[in-house]
Structure 1
């Protein structure tokens, strides 16, 4: 099992040109799914369709290690692992290992560039020291014109040096993200493709690629890192009629809570329905705040962006079914309409016309 998993991971983290090709990505993903199927079939001795911790223990030295390994696959914590959980866990290990290899590669590239800059500075300092040792008088005489030249270069490259220093702090000290992290900048979700010493490349969810200077991100933007976040909450609003009974609202909340309780693989269980505001005595706006578990494989956040929308869509469909069953509706309020008479130009209420009819 370990050898096959290592082989798949090695295929996912190739360092040659094939690593970035679509064919190699598809092949590695297919290999991960194939391995997950073999692992599940090999561990499922009783052919019950799920795996338990007891089936892991023969392959580990002690029960504690087996329990730790079982938690890696049992993301919903219900005590068993089905085929989908096994496939998602192996695919997650592949993706995280590949992202880690890419992140280390980018970090190594940034360090090498920084190393080149520091080596250049060290070389200049060494040259000046040797000049002072072998020709102190001549070197002192040349300092004045050289100082003028250095001062001129400071105006040209001063901003670049400032950006370099800020980028160094941003990448090596703050280090707000890694490759393939999902982040929010100005409420816009983006994935980190690669980062360097001066800039970072992002990819938006619609496929657009954005290159942002690190100096702009440093101290000027708030960065929300989804991968490093825990369980995330999401809010949506539903408008209902003002004359909706409170018992119906309570039943609406009860059924939604039961829905998230019945789906522990997708939801953590926290859900509430609160009245947000009342307007014109004809509308109640409900603030529905479900506690989201954004995939069991990503520790209850939105790192798996597509899966997050799949779960949200399922909840919206369930809300629609419950509202239909409870006859929860909302219609625009009736507005008075007045007609202008051609004789005296005085408004004539439409309600009186309807009443006369």
Structure 2
């Protein structure tokens, strides 16, 4: 009974329940709901783990116990386990289960906010369309009552022309915002996007403006018309993201370093094949620096991670960079930082001699 009670903090069955649960919440209510979500995550872990208090993790076999022992049941168990990890060999801790449940709750909250914002925008559009329809209705009424509309048409057209100079830009911005939000629809509430070189989280969408928060939680607001023609990279809609690393090594070590690095990165990517796309790995010699006799080695690979999954991406990046760093450290005794000395152009001295020139 208690588990069913706290389950309602996460699971919502209807649209109205979703809006009611997440709209107009006070900070105290948000904190209370998060506590219920954490309780549910802990209870879920204990329920899957079973009665063994010494067991600190759960795995795919534990999930399979809740499904039928047939092909369809095993497939459903694998799908359920992928909520916590894409690697079927992983061991999931209690903290990971709690964090996953919290993420699901935040996604539901973002959906509720997005639906609420959509309702607000639709109400604004309905009000605008109602105004236009009432205007035409008044014209029809005047015709029915045999009022000579053309008699005042010149005055009316002059008035409309004057108002177009005042409100023309606002009307154009509203029309562009409608195309931007309802036709292009480049983001939803909760998405992480990259725009103007910065990373932002979408917090609220209205008809004319969008509110974001940056990587440091600072609020930023853009007019929708101002970002209508800007390139927007939606990280939350990307199932893969790229990474590249550049290193420089001495000319005598380039081939040996490249071969060992390629072999060890392949081994890492095969072992962590839920995080990296093994086929994407490309290690090549990309250039030669004549000033210090170095060869540039370019390393490119693709993560099998959503662009906004910062935790997994950071861990995968650390593993790849640490591997490169370890191999560089292995050859640290052989790497020599050789710099080519460049003779600077001497400046003319006051006595007709070259300043800085060596004395005979």
Q: Normalised by the shorter chain, which TM-score bucket?
A: 0.7 to 0.9
Please show how residues 167-182 of structure 1 align to structure 2 within 5 Å. Answer: 167-182=177-192
The one-character-per-residue Cα deviations of 1:175-222 (angstroms, maximum 9, x if unpaired) are 11001101111332111111111111122213332211111222x211
C-alpha contact (below 8 Å) 1:73/1:85 kept by paired residues: no
- Determine whether 1:317 maps to 2:322: yes
C-alpha distance in structure 1 between counterparts of 2:150 and 2:265, whole Å? 82
- Counterpart among 233, 245, 252 of residue 236 in structure 1: 245
- SS of 1:284's partner is strand
Please show how residues 55-74 of structure 1 align to structure 2 within 5 Å. Answer: 55-57=65-67, 63=73, 66-67=76-77, 69-74=79-84
C-alpha contact (below 8 Å) 1:74/1:81 kept by paired residues: no
Q: How many residues align?
A: 335
How far did residue 86 of structure 1 move? Answer: 2.8
- Counterpart among 290, 301, 304 of residue 290 in structure 1: 301
C-alpha distance in structure 2 between counterparts of 1:6 and 1:214, whole Å? 36
Where does the alignment leave 5 or more consecutive residues of structure 1 unmatched? 294-299, 350-357
The one-character-per-residue Cα deviations of 1:11-35 (angstroms, maximum 9, x if unpaired) are 996345435x2x5444444433332
Larger relative helix fraction: 1
C-alpha distance in structure 2 between counterparts of 1:79 and 1:56, whole Å? 18
C-alpha distance in structure 2 between counterparts of 1:314 and 1:41, whole Å? 31
- Determine whether 1:144 maps to 2:124: no
- 2:262 maps to which residue? 253
**Greater displacement, 304-313 / 241-250:** 304-313
How far did residue 114 of structure 1 move? Answer: 0.9
- Counterpart among 330, 335, 341 of residue 335 in structure 1: 341
Where does the alignment leave 5 or more consecutive residues of structure 2 unmatched? 347-352
- Determine whether 1:212 maps to 2:222: yes
- TM, length-normalised to structure 1: 0.81
- 1:98 maps to which residue? 109
C-alpha contact (below 8 Å) 1:73/1:81 kept by paired residues: no
CA RMSD of aligned residues (A): 3.3
Flag the 1:87–1:263 CA change in 2: closer, same or farther, 3 A.
Answer: farther
**Greater displacement, 316-325 / 101-110:** 316-325
- 2:349 maps to which residue? none
C-alpha contact (below 8 Å) 1:227/1:302 kept by paired residues: yes
How far did residue 277 of structure 1 move? Answer: 0.8
- TM, length-normalised to structure 2: 0.80
Flag the 1:167–1:330 CA change in 2: closer, same or farther, 3 A.
Answer: farther
The one-character-per-residue Cα deviations of 1:310-351 (angstroms, maximum 9, x if unpaired) are 44234333322232123364624142679x9xxx989779xx
C-alpha distance in structure 1 between counterparts of 2:75 and 2:270, whole Å? 30
C-alpha distance in structure 2 between counterparts of 1:291 and 1:237, whole Å? 15
The one-character-per-residue Cα deviations of 1:145-175 (angstroms, maximum 9, x if unpaired) are 1121112112221121111111111111111
The one-character-per-residue Cα deviations of 1:236-289 (angstroms, maximum 9, x if unpaired) are 211212221512321122223323444456444453322221121711111122
How far did residue 80 of structure 1 move? Answer: 5.3
- 1:123 maps to which residue? 134
C-alpha distance in structure 1 between counterparts of 2:293 and 2:244, whole Å? 23
C-alpha distance in structure 2 between counterparts of 1:4 and 1:66, whole Å? 24
**Greater displacement, 267-276 / 154-163:** 267-276
C-alpha distance in structure 2 between counterparts of 1:133 and 1:97, whole Å? 52
**Greater displacement, 174-183 / 2-11:** 2-11
